[in-house]
Chain A
């Protein structure tokens, strides 16, 4: 047992390294017997290298770190959505026994603001607060409770002003930030805008503010370095962009900020922006001591961006046969107080606003605005989730207007390779939308008899519903989005590979957030190098370039591609040397089973011998094909690749109580190629659950800018009783031509169409229009009352 006072145990570096060592030793499990790499390489059902330490509680997450004589940091946050700060008295806080520092905006050594797209967000409030929860002051103390109490003792003199909370009013309202209230307006004009269809349907749709609700709270540990720099262990999605922003705020060279990934307890977009990174480093540099911070759950709700709430006005035109003629839409996303990635989110919402359908003409107005609500940014599905709910609701409405089967309507309009998006871009990769629809819709609908088990009823164990009072409905939806970053962004990943003594070591700064990149990296190295033992070096900024963000379904392709390229570069060196030695052509040699083998079977040598000592090494940067900016009509080849998914949902509803129980979810997904079946299933199940949550229960409730449910008591996410089994009818494997191994990213599509399919099922059961998600019990029960009156 590893007991004993924390302060005398090993320093944090050992803790962080322990994760890596664990990864390495798991990789070494089969190294004494030479295993065919094919059985543990790409496509194989290989377990996670960090699985064993995680089930044992030995895996070090960012909240598990400590160092000798460290302090606890705490953040004082604004209770007001909009206020001027007239003065701050830190005297009583500083005088508290055990307090080592109290820092304010004036103490930010470098640039006061940061941001992913625009540096518009102050590291600490600078004379003004623009949302509830905005950081105002920092405290470091010898105990977390002392730090918290000291923060409460800080006296801030606020002059409270009226908050701007209505996104629709924002463009014309007085600016709440020097950069104005419109973060981005994007207009897409495509095809003949004067065209119209014989049949039109209209709708206004809304999506509430969803939280990523990862389990591992924001946390980290910063250690001051002797050279004036700082070492930061933190959970994040993108180490290098953190470093860039932290260094700017600290006013020091990027090289002096050394960031190492600490164990990440989920991310889903919420760790793409900075949270406590700058704060931790400021406190560590100021006090000269290691400083640790761990957000509480309620603070976590204030500490990261959320999914944008959306309001969407739609008009679909179709001919009598159901072929889409034109889609018109206006989309307003509430970006909250700061820009974060709102510009890219509204681009996605707009570009994919019409769904994965052939649409000859489209007029889309996308608007991301600034308000005094909590900042919104990246969350799994990134803009496509909101518009998928709208376009799929419209497709069902259109099917009803035409008297057509909703699946048939989707099939006749389905996009395919060679077709054009509403941005004018021709899809050059694989895009089997129709096949995904057919596979999902064609799977047998399970025969689920009415159950007497109260756990199967709407309302669950509360025994609120009788089986006889429920109605059943089935809904269907399909959605899509882009993979990787878009609009001309030079998106790349870096990786290094070293093979010595027959063992491969891969270095990549890709943030493992739970998605399983660590497993894939090992699989790729095994496949490319014919080795079994693959050690993963820590993800850090000191010795390797950026891997880009663990977002946008991009790491399998981008960092997978970088690892593949690094391994291949090493393989070329090894084979060239052996070929020269043997006097043969390197083309006749392969790496297999820990051996260098000539294809004619004449010669072989142990890779461990060939690579004894210093071994071979390569360092690569992997870029995807370039994309373009969108022009003034929102036209251009802005995206690299696309992936789609479909969901079919069977739901039982108690219409009087407005309670819903999902009985079955069936899905099919366009995956390119599956590299690890169990991990793929996990992504699909987990992503689907987040869509179910958005459809039925998850919403950050705001009251004049104040979050009313910043806890897991009041912000509820699906539990084992809410999630049915997810049946994967098919993953449609059409390898993507330019992707490493043909694999598409699979993390986001399950979250896109699942919400829309749940909503469709509840509509089918109740006959209600339900234009808003999450569907709250009152939306069903009260709407029915109105209908009945």
Chain B
């Protein structure tokens, strides 16, 4: 087994022991660090259910070898809210607008929408559709998801 290494996830340094170097960041997050919020719908870079931010860059964690993310700042869906009970504006909007059905696509979308609104606080419908076109959802047909994104954007803009 390779030497243990450390990943910084949601502001916390986590020791990764006994990990095969071939393990993806997705696998290490889920199976070694217990952070199962990041999802595994395809594990081949096609669905974005595994989306995380690595040093602020939206990334499919299934396509990254975990060990290569050492020393970088990793943010998962678990790190986006404000503690266990407080939801982010985006999370709140997803709940409120009915953007969640089975919820398997949801964590990846939450991360992607955080990233989108950070970069573009006033996205047009086309902008939102393009930004989220890599996030597959099989339940919703996207209507309530798009509504949630626009509602979250409006809420964020109205906040001081």
Contact = CB atoms under 8 A, between A and B. Distances in A.
A465 to B, nearest CB: 16
Contacts of A55: 77, 87, 91, 94-95, 100, 103, 106-107, 110
Interface residues of A, number: 69
B3 interface: no
Interface string B73-98: 00011110100100100010011111
A57 B144 contact: no
B61 interface: no
Contact of B44 (A52, A145, A712): A712
B102 A265 contact: yes
A259 to B, nearest CB: 19
A453 B81 CA distance: 35
A455 B102 contact: no
Given A3-B14, A55-B87, A514-B139, A711 B35 contact: no
Interface string A252-276: 0000000000011111100000000
B87 to A, nearest CB: 7
Interface in A703-742: 711-713, 717-721, 723, 725-726
Interface string A117-149: 000000000000000000000000001010000
Contacts of B110: 55, 57
B40 interface: yes
Interface stretch (A407-415, A530-538, A680-688): A680-688
A131 B92 CA distance: 46
Contact of B98 (A265, A455, A682, A721): A682
Nearest to B148: A55
A187 interface: no
A103 B21 CA distance: 29
Interface stretch (A58-66, A308-316, A342-350, A384-392): A58-66
B151 interface: no
A516 B91 CA distance: 18
**Residue with the greatest number of chain A CB neighbours at <10 A, chosen from B36, B95, B144:** B36
B134 to A, nearest CB: 7
A514 B139 CA distance: 8
Given A5-B17, A57-B36, A720-B133, A711 B141 contact: no
A60 B36 CA distance: 8
Interface in A513-572: 513-516
B5 interface: no
B33 to A, nearest CB: 5
A719 B136 contact: yes
Contacts of B12: 1, 3
Nearest to B105: A215
A351 interface: no
Contacts of A6: 31-34
B74 to A, nearest CB: 11
Nearest to A719: B133
A145 B136 CA distance: 26
A713 B141 contact: no
A214 interface: yes
B126 A456 contact: yes
A728 to B, nearest CB: 10
Nearest to B45: A713
Contacts of A2: 34-35, 78
A717 B138 contact: yes
B41 A297 contact: yes
B143 A514 contact: no
Interface string A1-15: 111111001000000
A145 B129 CA distance: 36
A721 B130 contact: yes
B91 A3 contact: no
B136 A514 contact: no
B59 interface: no
B34 A215 contact: no
A47 interface: yes
Contacts of A515: 101
8 contacts: A4-B33, A267-B102, A455-B129, A682-B101, A682-B143, A719-B134, A723-B141, A723-B143
The 7 closest A-B pairs by CB, nearest first: A57-B37, A514-B102, A54-B103, A265-B104, A689-B141, A685-B141, A712-B46
Given A4-B34, A685-B140, A719-B134, 14 more contacts: A3-B34, A51-B100, A54-B103, A215-B104, A215-B139, A216-B39, A265-B39, A297-B42, A455-B129, A455-B130, A461-B130, A682-B141, A689-B142, A717-B136
Interface of A: 1-6, 9, 47-48, 50-52, 54-61, 63-64, 66, 143, 145, 212-217, 263-268, 294, 296-297, 453, 455-456, 461, 513-516, 678-679, 681-682, 685-690, 711-713, 717-721, 723, 725-726
